[in-house]
Each structure stands twice: as structure tokens, then as C-alpha cells.
Amino acid sequence: MRIAVCIKQVPDSTRVKVDPQTGTLIRAGVPSILNPYDHYALEQALKLKKHHAGAELIVLSMGPPQAVSIMRLALALGADKGILLSDRAFAGSDTWATSYALALGLRKIGHIDLVLCGQMAIDGDTAQTGPAIAQQLRIPQITFCDSVSVSGRKLTAKQHIDGGHQVVEAALPVLCTMTMPHDYQPAYPAFLKIMQAQDKPFETWTAQDIGADTSCLGLEGSPTRVDRIFAPPAREKGEVFEGGAAELAQKLLEILRQENVLKP
């Protein structure tokens, strides 16, 4: 089995602040990390690899040369091969242009049974790139998966839905986007594994290498335009009430009336 995981390097958004005057992100002193959803997707892929003898795991990313650090992290955690799409032509790509490039990258890798992506990247929160890759590759997609397993040519995914889970099956090849548990703690590699990752295969591919039409890349190939970035106004603190069901229902009713949501 051949698994590809698409990963992205993002600023640690828990530490990014928005400049209130200019509306731009203050990136000074903010470290770059592997997008946590992708980290989780990678760990799920590593579990599959462990259960399927001979499985091969390839990580693919698009980004500047510095993104080599997340590739190395993935290799140290157990991926077999890393491919970084890096070219000035990719700069400024939106989710559609990015998925175009990643899909071409995946095609160039050749036969792939399963593509895993994080549900979304924490710097954009769009959750579009994964599904768009599936669309470009013309393969089925299952989004918001907690976990996946493979038996023969069949994939079973536990998909997160409102209020619960549903179990979905699909024939390979398929693309799944992975969501992560709220208490997820990403795994970090031991020092020896980090050193060994230096010797694992790693390639950088340009737009030309993947046979991309450059008019489909970068700003030119991106239908999305960012109009404005701003910090949402801070939400006021909520009030917490405690008590029995009947008591709380009464309280709720009272508040709804007070706020003129219900007629008295």
C-alpha cells in the first residue's frame, strides 16, 4: 500500500497577533510549525503503515525552502520519503491553485492508494485544499475523519458529524481529511530518529518538474482575493449558571424574556 500525506508549514497561530492598525499579522518572533491537523493525519498514516507490512508513506508539501523542516520532522516520525514543491511560481496560490499543484505532485509520484490531509491549516482555516485535491485527482473523498483503517482494497473511516460519528466505507484510492481530538498532543521524534531522517530520500520539485501550467498557479491562478484581514471584536465573557434542569430552564426562560427574545 502506498500512502501520501499532504502537510503544510504554518506560523504557530496561537502565538500570532493581528496588528490592530494595519490588520496584518505580526509574524516577528513567531515560530513555524507543522500544521497540527496534518501532524495528526501523519500519525494516523504511520499507524496504517505499521499495520500493513511493506506499506510506503510519502509526505508532500508545497512551500518555501524553509519548509524542509516539517519534511524532516515527518521523516523523523517515520515517513519514508519527502517531496517539497518549491518554486517562486507557487507563491501567492490560494487553495484552488495549491490543490492543483499538490494534485500534480501526487500524480507525478505515481500510484497512490490513500491520500491523507489535515482537515484544515490553522493559518487559514479554509478546509478547502484537501477536498479540492480529491476533485482534481477525480477520486472520492471523506472529510472530517477521526480515524481510518484499510482492509484489502476497502477503507473504513470514522467520520465526525454533528453530535456523533458515522462509519463510512470507500474503495481505494480515496482521499481523507483528518480532524483531530481536542486533547491531541502531537508526537515528537527522539534525537536518533531526527539524525536518521537526514539520510532518508527527499526531493524538491519545481512547477516545471510537475508539468504545471503556470497560469494556474500563484496569484494569476487563484480565483480568491483577500479583501481585508481584521481581528474580530473580542467576545464578551459569558455567564455560567449551575443547578438542576428545572431550575436552569426557569433561569433560561427568565433571561430570554429579559433580553426580549421571548414575549413576556
Residue type, 41: A
Which span sits near another protein by CB under 8 A: 24-32, 122-130, 203-211, 236-244?
A: 24-32
The correct pick among 1, 25, 68, 216 for binding another protein (CB under 8 A) is: 68
User: Residue from 195, 231, 249, 256 that binds another protein (CB under 8 A)?
Assistant: 195
Question: How many residues interact with another protein (rule CB under 8 A)?
Answer: 21
Q: Closest separation between CB of residue 20 and another protein, Å?
A: 13
Mark the segment that binds another protein (CB under 8 A) among 44-52, 152-160, 168-176, 182-190.
182-190
Q: What are phi and psi of 194, to 5 degrees?
A: -65, -45
CA distance 167 to 152: 17
CB of 250 to another protein, least distance (A): 40
Q: How far is CA 32 from CA 37, 166, 191, 239, 263, in A?
A: 14, 34, 20, 36, 52
**Helices vs. strands in the chain: H and E counts, helices first:** 6, 13
| Integer Cα distance of 246 and 253 in angstroms | 11
- Our finding on whether 50 is near another protein (CB under 8 A) is no
Stretch that binds another protein, among 185-193, 222-230, 241-249, 256-264 (CB under 8 A): 185-193
CA dihedral 204, 212, 140, 53 (to 10 degrees): -30
Footprint of another protein on this chain (CB under 8 A)?
Answer: 15, 17, 26, 28-29, 68-69, 72-73, 76, 185-186, 188-192, 194-195, 197-198
